[in-house]
Structure 1
Amino acid sequence: MKLIIDTDPGIDDAMAIAYAAAAPEIDLIGLTTVFGNTHVHQSSRNARYLVDKLGLAVPVAQGAPFAHGEDDHSPSEHVHGPEGFGDLTEIPEIGQNHDLSAAAFLVEMARQHPGELVVCAVGPLTNIADAMALDPEFASNLKRLAIMGGAVYCPGNITEHAEANIYHDALAADAVFSAPPETVLVGLDVTLKTLYKSADFEDLALRSPDMGAFLRDISRFYLKFYKEIGGLEGCGLHDSTAVIACTHDHMFDSVQTGLKVATEGKAIGATVPDETRPPVWVCRDVDGAGVVDLFTARVASLP
């Protein structure tokens, strides 16, 4: 399966990219970057660092720096650290970004691989909305869009109504859901059922002494946030679960519904069922233990 991950690395993004690199059923053909957990230039630097660390020959195309209608962004430093990788703050600049913007790269890859390309968006949906606006055929050229985002049948995490990725560009998200490609939404309804605990990271580091140890080390900051803010003894495999949904949909229970996104007011960023919209698949349950085991098994195969 040909895959592009649209990403804002980010600790859980790094985990998802490592999973995709290790999964034999995934042909990772590129990363596109967006603002979110970090500023977009940090997202791109972190993505290129991960590509190098994983020994991948895939391009990184830089995308949107801000949400639609905005000209500033405040990253989630309290969740992912000042540079996106927890306590790791010295991250080298390796390589260069692709000549095309993220949206243009997405459009071009979808044209080159019509009906084959899956895009997994694990940050704000700005690049996806921009690609849809750039090429009216982009959505139909995709095989599927998988989105880590939303809280349709459960509370949000950045507000009581909204999940962070949707909240950070509600306008873009609503545009995507107004005329979506074949789409699966992997939101908080399922990702908080995939807790990855400190002991899991330690086991991963033993089995994968380079990449596994790197993920363990950067995760300590993330686990502390989950413990202090949510009282949880682990972090959700948010982005990795969305990547896993691209190839292991049998591990998920889903329903079809149209969605709209609140774009103003107290509920901004809320993902609300709307039967007047084209239907998307919304994951409502997951084999959480199975996802955790699959993640570990795949990433443990890395050096």
Structure 2
Amino acid sequence: MTSPLKLIIDTDPGIDDAMAIFYAAATPDIELLGLTSIFGNVTATQATRNALRLLEWVGLNDVPVAQGASKPRTLPAFPPSHNVHGDEGFGEMPAETPEGKALDEPAAEFLVRMARQHKGELVLCPIGPLTNIADALDLDPEFASNVARIVLMGGSLEEGGNITPHAEANIYHDPHAAERVFASGANITMVGLDVTHRILCTAEDFDAMEAASPRLGGMINEMSRFYLHFYATVGKHDGCSLHDPAAVIACTHPELFTPRAVPVSVSCEKETSGKTILAQDDRPETDVLMSVDASAVKRQFLHEMSKLA
């Protein structure tokens, strides 16, 4: 039996972030070494609170949380995505004050320290804007080589955008940080809309999750109603995309996806800001996931989520 993957999730929870973190907690394939928070779906402060609460709900109180950036590196701050994830990040569920507290250490410093401590083993899974990752790269010139892989949820090569016609939301919310990451030379896998738009969960799937796991599955089911309603308001009535869970599953089950190795750059120009494009320089290639066994990914997700207490 292989050892569990050493994983840190950089997150802005967020409903599908909650699904991804619960999945990581449920599967024996992952040893969750920490969470770092970032602005995006919610503010950085809300993201830290939500990360702490998610860990407490799944009984991982000892897993550290480090708070990260509250705004993009260059652009002005964006308002949180309350229309997608609710005012507090979990749909209609009210905010709760966690028992624990975040580390005094900022997210970028925590990432640098953990990458040194677990050199060549640590997998980093950013599922929000990439500001913390870019900051870590700036802090330590060896960060890109210390991490084994960066498996990020963001971007698209052929699918277009979901926040503008050109851009996926995580990349759009800090394109300068994303460009810094893609140019870094790190071993990067991009889990973008080319695959996540193919993996859908329906209201019936979330009902089944609650039936299998009444407490935590019930929480996800409650959150999902807000998320599904948002999807319906934009004309998507066949379920919600498993964006963030897909990225976590890609960390441990790469065989369920087909990559295309290409150099990726990010537009920072006004109209196309956040668009992921083929780079014109000699930067290393990124493994861009272009196709997926969607039914197998969904089965894997639902199977592990059914184990939640």
With normalisation by structure 2, the TM-score equals 0.96
Structure 2, unaligned stretches of length 5 or more?
none
Deviations 1:50-78 (A, max 9, x none): 01000002000000000012453300000
2:177 alignment partner, one of 167, 172, 191: 172
Residue range with higher mean Cα deviation, 250-259 or 228-237: 228-237
Q: In the alignment, which residue of structure 1 is the partner of 2:276?
A: 271
Q: In the alignment, which residue of structure 2 is the partner of 1:80?
A: 85
Deviation at 1:153, TM superposition (A): 1.2
Aligned equivalents of 2:211, 2:305: Cα separation in 1:
11
1:52 alignment partner, one of 53, 56, 63: 56
Query: Are 1:116 and 2:121 counterparts?
Result: yes
Structure 1, unaligned stretches of length 5 or more?
none
Aligned equivalents of 1:180, 1:187: Cα separation in 2:
19
2:41 alignment partner, one of 37, 40, 43: 37
**Contact 1:39–1:73 under 8 Å retained in 2:** no
> What RMSD in Å do the two structures reach over aligned CA positions?
0.9
1:205 alignment partner, one of 190, 210, 218: 210
Aligned equivalents of 1:236, 1:73: Cα separation in 2:
23
Deviation at 1:89, TM superposition (A): 2.3
Query: Are 1:302 and 2:270 counterparts?
Result: no
Q: In the alignment, which residue of structure 2 is the partner of 1:66?
A: 71
Aligned equivalents of 2:37, 2:44: Cα separation in 1:
7
Aligned equivalents of 1:269, 1:69: Cα separation in 2:
13
Number of residue pairs matched by the alignment: 303
Instruction: Map 1:157-196 onto structure 2 (within 5 A).
Output: 157-196=162-201
Query: Are 1:154 and 2:159 counterparts?
Result: yes
Q: In the alignment, which residue of structure 2 is the partner of 1:140?
A: 145
Q: In the alignment, which residue of structure 1 is the partner of 2:30?
A: 26
Aligned equivalents of 2:150, 2:179: Cα separation in 1:
15
SS at match of 2:234: helix
Aligned equivalents of 2:10, 2:71: Cα separation in 1:
15
With normalisation by structure 1, the TM-score equals 0.98
Aligned equivalents of 1:148, 1:90: Cα separation in 2:
25
Q: 1:105 to 1:124 in 2, by over 3 A?
A: same
Aligned equivalents of 2:137, 2:148: Cα separation in 1:
14
Aligned equivalents of 1:30, 1:64: Cα separation in 2:
16
**Contact 1:86–1:220 under 8 Å retained in 2:** yes
Q: In the alignment, which residue of structure 1 is the partner of 2:287?
A: 281
Q: In the alignment, which residue of structure 2 is the partner of 1:3?
A: 7
